Amino acid sequence: MLTEYDFSVYRCPIDPTRQAKIILDDIHIRCERCKVEFKSREGIPNFLVSDAILPENCSSIKDLPCWKSGKK
Ligand SMILES: [Zn+2]
């Protein structure tokens, strides 16, 4: 069960500064900043960026606030 995970220890893998927290939003695992959704498989969170689901109205990972945070 995902609810057994302590998501407070996780940070968004897209954020190079590792500031953005991962939250469990209902049943979805999301970055609280860029809202990217991470899948889980058999109850295990998958934080692979290549498998992540981009938020609506975002066509590229490079448009995400987390990605941009490391490109200044
Ligand atoms: Zn993020």
Ligand 1 center to residue 60 CA distance, Å? 13
Ligand 1 center to residue 42 CA distance, Å? 23
Q: Are 29 and 38 contacting, i.e. CB atoms less than 8 angstroms apart?
A: yes
Ligand 1 center to residue 34 CA distance, Å? 4
Alpha helices in the chain (DSSP H): 65-69
Tens digits of residue pLDDT in 31-47: 999 999 999 988 889 99
Q: Are 55 and 36 contacting, i.e. CB atoms less than 8 angstroms apart?
A: yes
CB proximity list for 26: less than 8 A, separation 6 or greater: none
Tens digits of residue pLDDT in 4-25: 788 999 999 999 999 999 999 8
Ligand 1 center to residue 37 CA distance, Å? 9
The pTM assigned to this predicted structure is 0.87
